[in-house]
Amino acid sequence: MRRYICNRYNLKDSGSWLKHNSYKDIEDEEWTYVPHILKVLVHYIPLKDRKTVLSDFDKIWLWREDSVRQFLSHVTRLRTGVNHVYGDEMPVIGDRTLVAYRSEFDRFMHRQKQFWELYYELGFKKNEPLIKFEDFVEDPNSICKMLEDWFYMEFGFNFDLPDQALPRRIDIDYATKYTNYEEVVEWFNE
């Protein structure tokens, strides 16, 4: 979603800058002086700094309704090293060759809990947009139009840019790829 919006509205894409740098150094970056999108995952920011940092800018909160697919997609990216596919380079995954571990699930659930706590404390109170990933994939133009209304100053000057390509949807039947798929589903039902 980040790359798509940056391309569509000619915004600077910070990539995963915050993953490898401290927020206190952000003003040293040239891209911060023009409209941009900063990718933030809650674990990128030390716990003691999260509320301060996240209160410093407007946010678009992205969540995924299908938590099982989100978790297994994350684990699959870790195992294959493939994050996004734009061409024909789809990962080849044999049946029943992947395993998700309980420790990965526990970390995932902890981060999910942190996300929702921060959203309700910071984003909800400021009426910041909460975008469901599945809605964006289904109709990115409608989501972008809604964001144009929300962030007119940032998105309001680039309406004539052509639509940009979305990454290809990687439809993986996780039930056939994971040896412990049923166990993973049970974890979510605990």
Per domain, the residue ranges of the chain are: 2-163+170-188
Rounded mean pLDDT, 91-114: 95
Average pLDDT score over residue span 89-102: 90
pLDDT at 167: 61
pLDDT at 156 over 80: no
Model confidence at 71, pLDDT cuts 50, 70, 90, reads: very high
Greater pLDDT, 85 or 181: 181
Q: What is the pTM of this model?
A: 0.85
Bridge partners of 12, per DSSP, are 36
Strand duo 12-13 + 36-37: pairing? parallel
The mean pLDDT value for 47-71 works out to: 92
Provide the pLDDT confidence category of residue 132 given band limits of 50, 70 and 90.
very high
Average pLDDT score over residue span 14-33: 89
In terms of pLDDT, which residue wins out, 86 or 136?
Answer: 136
User: Which positions ≥6 away from 176 have C-beta within 8 Å?
Assistant: 95, 96
